[in-house]
């Protein structure tokens, strides 16, 4: 919708459409978007006012308007404009709650993500920036700074990054953003290398099994 608004405004500036024509097109577009998004009936009262219901913070709430056009404007603001100010800090608790209700998810996974949020995200200013204003550069700076600050390994980085990936996916599904700023992320900070166990431990285990095998054979002879 944001892209459509911009295109229509450019059409006015270039003299392709009049202000009145653009206004009519915007109203039609917004009405279609509201009809696609709004699941509840819109009813007219005997006094001429229009009423409907919306779900906000998990609860049903009734709203009213002086006319159908006014109601469409209110619903458009509710479903689309207000989302522009949503932040990662707003989205994470909702995501966590949904995951807690998901019986297919291991509770340990949800707890781990919550621990990572508290450790890497909670005290960083990026979670207060409206998601609609987040840029790839902002995310690049955040990830690289976090890697350096916490001396992250590749696995630790992927674990903490998975939270951002999930929240960006929700943002696109909810039409908070149209493009994913995670695309184009470039990590230049050095990830901590993790030393693998030496083969000596494996040899020791193999030798141990050989010894047990010998003892077992002696017992059955």
Largest pairwise CA distance in the chain:
101
Does the CA dihedral 171-176-182-184 come out positive or negative? positive
Q: What is the mean pLDDT of the chain?
A: 84
Per-residue confidence (pLDDT) for residue 23, from 0 to 100 = 75
**Rounded mean pLDDT, 80-90:** 87
Q: What does the pLDDT look like over 147-178, one tens digit per residue?
A: 999 999 999 999 999 999 999 999 998 888 88
Strands (E), the chain: 43-44, 50-56, 59-65
pLDDT of residue 158: 96
* For the chain, percent of residues with pLDDT exceeding 90: 56
In 3D, which of 151, 159, 163, 164 has the Cα closest to residue 191? 151
Residue 137: the pLDDT is 97
Q: Facing residues of 60 across strands?
A: 55
Tokens of 131: 């998601």
| Helices 19-37 and 2-13, axial angle in degrees (round to 10) | 170
pLDDT class for 213, splitting at 50, 70, 90?
very low
């Amino acid at each position: 919708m944001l892209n459509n608004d911009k295109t229509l405004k450019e059409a006015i500036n270039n003299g392709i459409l009049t202000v009145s024509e653009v206004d009519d097109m915007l109203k039609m577009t917004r009405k279609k978007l509201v009809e696609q998004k709004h699941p509840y009936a819109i009813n007219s009262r005997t006094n001429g006012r229009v009423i409907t219901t919306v779900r906000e913070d998990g609860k049903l709430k009734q709203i009213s308007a002086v006319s159908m056009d006014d109601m469409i404007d209110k619903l458009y603001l509710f479903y689309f404009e207000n989302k522009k100010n949503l932040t990662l800090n707003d989205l994470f608790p909702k995501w966590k709650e949904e995951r807690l209700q998901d019986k297919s998810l291991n509770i340990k996974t949800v707890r781990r993500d919550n621990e990572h949020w508290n450790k890497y995200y909670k005290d960083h200013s990026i979670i207060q920036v409206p998601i609609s204003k987040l840029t790839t550069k902002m995310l690049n700076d955040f990830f690289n700074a976090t890697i350096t600050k916490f001396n992250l390994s590749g696995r630790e980085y992927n674990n903490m990054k998975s939270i951002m990936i999930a929240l960006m996916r929700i943002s696109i599904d909810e039409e908070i953003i149209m493009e994913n700023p995670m695309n184009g992320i470039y990590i230049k900070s050095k990830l901590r290398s993790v030393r693998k166990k030496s083969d000596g431990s494996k040899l020791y285990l193999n030798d141990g099994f050989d010894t047990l095998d010998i003892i077992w054979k002696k017992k059955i002879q």
